[in-house]
Copies of this chain bind each other. A is one copy, B any other.
Amino acid sequence: MTMSLSAELWPDVQPETARRLMLAGVESFAERGYHATTTRDIAGAAGMSPAALYVHFPSKAALLFAISRSGHEQTLSLVRSVMARTDDPAERIRRIVEDFVAWHARRHRVARVVQYELHALPDEEYQVVAGLRREIEHIVRDVITAGAATGVFTVGDPRTAARAVLSLGVDVARWYTERSRKSPKALGEEYGELVLRMLGTDPA
């Protein structure tokens, strides 16, 4: 039995109809942008009536928020999971980059909505997502600061370095396509080495 794409993307979202609408939202936003997409477009792409959409999401903004929050929770969760697995700053950074980059490559369509439609969120929802982003950034910055303190890393400003590390991963969503020659995993590993060098440590 193969899992549906929407179940793979949003394993925590129930029921399947809600996931199907989120997938239709990602596709519609990717094609025409958030502002030019109507709830009617999204419902149509999911093979539903607009009324059926409102059962699950009270508005287009609520649907965007569900996609955005879930994407940020997923990336925060993979960062946290690396933190739980190892204490070594270089290993932490390497694995965070591997997983973060691979996520943005594998889910580049979802990731584009997650990363580039942020400012379309209503203020309250934006603040929730901004909080998740800050948490990811703080973890990465703290690992870099810890590595710099023990001399493993050589960096000027840990805040700028953390921004650059995450930037590399985020931008993968912009350019990665199904036709890219490297697999998400291989790209993540290569970026992990580039980032360790960037932080002044030998990846070997």
Interface residues of A (CB under 8 A from B): 32-36, 115-116, 154, 156-157, 160-161, 163-164, 167-168, 170-172, 174-175, 182, 187, 190-191, 193-195, 197-200
Contact = CB atoms under 8 A, between A and B. Distances in A.
A191 B187 CA distance: 21
Tallying the copies of this chain within the complex gives 2
A58 B120 CA distance: 29
A195 B198 CA distance: 6
Given A167-B175, A197-B199, 14 more contacts: A32-B36, A33-B34, A33-B35, A33-B36, A35-B36, A154-B197, A156-B190, A157-B190, A161-B194, A163-B175, A167-B167, A197-B198, A197-B200, A198-B198
Contacts of A157: 190
B172 A167 contact: yes
Nearest to A199: B197
- Top 8 nearest A-B pairs (CB, nearest first) are A33-B33, A35-B36, A198-B198, A36-B36, A167-B171, A171-B171, A32-B35, A33-B35
Contacts of A160: 182, 187, 190-191, 194
Contacts of A191: 160, 164
Contacts of A171: 167-168, 170-171, 174
Contacts of A200: 197
A174 B172 CA distance: 13
17 contacts: A32-B35, A33-B33, A154-B197, A156-B190, A156-B193, A160-B182, A161-B194, A163-B175, A164-B191, A167-B168, A167-B172, A167-B174, A170-B174, A195-B198, A197-B198, A197-B199, A198-B198
